[in-house]
Amino acid sequence: MDQPAISDYGFISDCRSGALVARDGSVDWWCPDRFDTTSVFGRLLDPDAGHWRIAPLATSRVERAYQPDTLVLRTVHHTPEGSVAVTDALAAELGARSHELGMNSPAVLLRVVEGLSGRVRMHLDFAPRPEYGLLTPYLHEQPDGGVLATAGPVALVLRGGGQPLRVDGDRVGCTFEVAAGQTVGFDLAYAPVYGPPPARLDPVATLAETVRAWEAYREAHHYDGEYRAQVRHSATVLTGLTYARSGAVAAALTTSLPECMGGDRNYDYRYSWLRDFSMTMRALWVAACPNEATRLFAWAARSIGRVGDQPVPVLFGLQGERDISEHECPHLRGYADSRPVRIGNDAWRQRQLDVPGEVIAAVWRLHDYLGDTFEMELREMVVSLAEQVANTWQLPDRGMWETRDIERHYLSSKVLCWVALDGAVKLAPQLGDRADPRRWAAIRDEIRATVLREGWNERIGAYTGSFGSVELDASALFLPVVQFLPATDPRMRSTIEVVERELGTESGLVRRWNTDPAGFVLCSFWLVECLVMAGERDRARALFEKVLGHANDLGLFAEQVDLSTGAQLGNTPQALSHIGLVNAAWRLTDPATD
């Protein structure tokens, strides 16, 4: 299957959903109703699962960039006939400004073609395939020149700025010319078939309004630390991955992009992970997005609900859904023939002891804003999470990387149990009569002693991935980040050196473990933070800039990078990669930051 590299895709968003646009002008991924619902364009995962391409008939040389401080993508095609620009965006609601962005997005994909020089012949190929390619819609030419596509629960209306759209079987084609100075706008509007009709918008005017909406949003957020351009862009990407109606941040736009080409580690990342919670909160604060941080916190508290005896799931749907059971799509070939394609993620069923630590750490980050005495529901949540940790920390779990084999006593999980109880002890004055800081402190200290004793491997000279293991794991770099140990502690300093030597690479990337063929972008930024905290700021800066070099031409990171080819791997754009960038840049700015 000949398809674009993962790094060839640009990301556009309306903070309701997002789309991926390839360098060749094809929209190969769009789930218009919501990030984590079904696609109408899915060629990313199968050549027959739908796309919408607009590009010159002649071979072109491509340049592309985002409009500054937006996720509006402008691609310029240079051909022997002349040059033409195609600008792609998901429409903002008319008049949306600042924090209104994405609250009532109309679910309209805009594509505006602008002649720059000469006269360029263009071709449009529109082949929607709803329900991840399971449905082939009926296509109906409309009196106004548009085309209505209906199948199952989906209605789409394509309009073409006066261009002659023609139905040819199960697709729509159109060939047209664009001269210098001429502009042709297309819009594709989605709606549920049993509801109000799709929106009707002027694509050129709406595109300009969408740019203004993004610019106004970024103007309300200020960051004055180092690497300002990269941090602002990563903050924009995180905004684009935020489901505005709830405040939840999706881990990535996509499902089932492989961690290894042709392999089966292909998971659905279109949900929001509590494990990432405190890291995400920190990145949003650093990037001066306090409103987004507090909305994310409110979403998490509501999603968790009343804490009982069962573990809190590590991830939720974007509106707080708990059951996101996983199934496979055998009709899809998968990216680069990497099967299976998975919808849903069964990690929600796993025991993950680190989740309470992430949540309580986020409460501690916000405690000054939450008042001297918390509201009853917040008090109950923190106390119940602390009690759950106190009663279960000695159990094994699936660990930070959500292994699907056996449970183990993972180092990072035990450390986050310590974080949970340490935070609960500090928050005790705001938690009311049910708080038990004396007991929590005793168990916290027991956890710490256990980690220091069982997690250290004298022969290797490092803290390893799980108790009694000889396997290195880059998650050990998380210990100084969460203030379990200072980076200057002799054993921690040795661990940093061993991880850098054994799991690091000349490219600046850090693998998660010895057998991992790819560098994990987040772990690479963790190493930057560790080096700063160990007093090696210059070396940390050089490493940071090396890692930056693995972004694509639009400044986007997937989850991992293949060490032999440099190709991006895994779901994209990956929130954790951009979160790691923001937090590492701030660590370089202010080494004492928590």
* 210-219 per-position pLDDT tens digit: 999 999 988 8
- Which DSSP letter does residue 503 get? H
Query: One digit per residue, pLDDT tens: the chain, 594 residues?
Result: 478 999 999 999 999 999 999 999 999 999 999 999 999 999 999 999 999 999 999 999 999 999 999 999 999 999 999 999 999 999 999 888 877 788 899 999 999 999 999 999 999 999 999 999 999 999 999 999 999 999 999 999 999 978 889 999 999 999 999 999 999 999 999 999 998 889 999 999 999 999 999 999 888 888 989 999 999 999 999 999 999 999 999 999 999 999 999 989 999 999 999 999 999 999 998 887 878 888 999 999 999 999 988 899 999 999 999 999 999 999 999 999 999 999 999 999 999 999 999 999 999 988 888 888 889 999 999 999 999 999 999 999 999 999 999 999 999 999 999 999 999 999 999 999 999 999 999 999 999 999 999 999 999 999 999 999 999 999 999 999 999 999 999 999 999 999 999 999 999 999 999 999 999 999 999 999 999 999 999 999 999 999 999 999 999 999 999 999 999 999 999 999 999 999 999 999 998 877
Residue written as token pair 């899915």: 42
Model pLDDT, residue 2: 76
- Among 70, 40, 72, smallest CA distance to 188 is for 40
For the record, the structure tokens of 440 come out as: 């929590």
pLDDT at 561: 98
Residues 389, 307 contacting (CB under 8 angstroms): no
Domains in the chain: ranges and CATH: 6-219 (2.70.98.10)
What's the rounded Cα separation, in Å, for the pair 142 and 513? 57
Give the residue from 400, 420, 413 showing the smallest Cα distance to 315: 400
At residue 299, the pLDDT reads 94
Predicted local confidence at residue 100, as pLDDT: 76
- Quote the Cα angle for 233-285-377, to 5°: 135
Who contacts 195 (Cβ-Cβ below 8 Å, separation ≥6)? none
Can you tell me which residue has the tokens 């990669």? 577
pLDDT of residue 594: 72
Quick check: helix, strand or coil at residue 219?
Answer: helix
What 3-state DSSP class applies to 21?
strand
List pLDDT tens digits, range 531-587.
999 999 999 999 999 999 999 999 999 999 999 999 999 999 999 999 999 999 999
pTM: 0.97
* Predicted pLDDT of residue 102: 82
Q: How many CB atoms lie within 10 A of CB 434?
A: 13
Question: Locate tokens 């920390």: which residue?
Answer: 393
